[in-house]
Amino acid sequence: MSDAALQDPSLSPLVAQTVPIDDPGPLVSLLPAQGNLAWIRDGEGLVGWGEVARLDIDGAERFAAADSWWRGITDQVILRDAVRAPGTGLVAFGSFAFADAPGTSSLVVPEVVVGRRGDLAWVTTIGIGAIAAPPELRARRSPSLPAGVVFADGAVSGARWESIVADAVRRIGAGDLDKVVLARDLVAELDAPLDVRWPLQQLVAEYPRCWTFHVEGLFGATPEMLVRRERGLVTSRVLAGTIRRTGDDEHDLALAGSLARSSKDLEEHEYAVRSVAEALAPHCSSMNVPESPFVLHLPNVMHLATDVTGVIAPADNQPGTDALGLAAALHPSAAVGGTPTAAALALITEIECMDRGRYAGPVGWIDAAGDGEWGIALRSASVESDRVRLFAGCGIVADSRPAAELAECQAKFIPVRDALSP
């Protein structure tokens, strides 16, 4: 386990000041080329830049260590918040590794955060021991287009991945487990380092109902909310069960009906919903778990979806019940790992043949009140200068067919792949 912080909360407290502002325009247009952070949906959300504190950590205790570090910061922060809404005041953006090892997880406290929610807009400036001057907010120079993008298979070819899926189906048939989520990667080589603002702008425009994010080189547009905590109310959007769209509205409507009746997809979805409900139940005084899913329509695919909601128990204000602690309790859900969890994770390690890094881990933000939003880093990619790794995965159950799962995986690459193609 390792950590590195620019600011030690025991030495000098952070000071955060939030003030209301006029509409700043599209949030993504405010981002500088370097050091930017983003969490945007339907024009609302948070963007940030600069850095006054950070924590980098790995290992099985990464969530607990991050939560403890954040509580140490927030216990001493000096807040001057004229807006007082979730996401105002002190905020940290974060992304976490999928597995205990390998992988590094990070929390970052930016110097500037700009937010929008409904008719409210605000800017927060954060400094060490003093309030920094609010920046002038204006649209930045347009990002550079990706140059010379060439895609290639990542760790395994499509044919090899189909054989891995077939192996998983055999294990499920033998009774080793009920479900496992298997992922693969695609590599994009560019002629020059990627300006991540370009794909962020494309994703914000093309997938407005998803949460477009960027934290520490991990970007994407996830349709799945692992957990939102807002003033004691908790929501988790569970997605499992997918079918590709054709672009023909009438045909897609028929496909949506077949998805809603598919025993294979309903079984996969049930495992995911159950795992989320069981993880949240100990922290909630009441919960609502719908009996049947709805079909979520996205530009490239349709998913079976269920919104699980709950109320945090009034006396439960202990470590682990803020947004980050709840994300830790939920990760990995059956939607990204499998059922039973231990058997699924062991099989992923054995046969998947790649390091997921932060793919399918929690990504999002938390504020000083413990409210926040943590999505699952799906439809995502990691940037390493002029090389980008795209990720996609599928839930495998007893009735899964390898060729169909590969086709589903290809459909899930589309959002980021298209966003990298000028």
Name the token pair of 340: 């039973």
209 backbone dihedrals φ, ψ, rounded to 5°: -85, -5
Is 51 one of the annotated active-site residues of the chain?
no
d(CA 214, CA 230): 22
Give, in degrees to the nearest 5, the angle at Cα 234 between 224 and 412. 0
Strand 338-339 and strand 91-95: pairing? unpaired
Name the token pair of 325: 């602690």
d(CA 9, CA 128): 9
C-beta separation of 367 from 384 below 8 A = no
Residue 307 identity: D
d(CA 163, CA 144): 39
Name the token pair of 104: 């590094």
Q: What is the chain's length?
A: 422
Alpha-carbon torsion, ordered 237, 379, 329, 124, to 10 deg: -90
Is 224 one of the annotated active-site residues of the chain?
yes
Q: DSSP label at 282?
A: G
Catalytic residue among 111, 162, 216, 224: 224
Nearest to 303 by CA among 255, 348, 341: 255
Rg (alpha carbons) of the chain, rounded to whole number: 21
d(CA 405, CA 79): 49
Listed in sequence order, the residues at least 6 apart from 47 whose beta carbon sits closer than 8 Å to its beta carbon are 27, 28, 30, 31, 36, 37, 38, 39, 40, 113, 114, 115
C-beta separation of 363 from 37 below 8 A = no
> Omega before 340 cis (within 30°)?
yes
Nearest to 73 by CA among 129, 27, 13, 135: 13
d(CA 352, CA 391): 12
Catalytic residue among 111, 162, 179, 412: 179
Nearest to 99 by CA among 350, 399, 412, 292: 350
Catalytic residue ranges? 179, 224
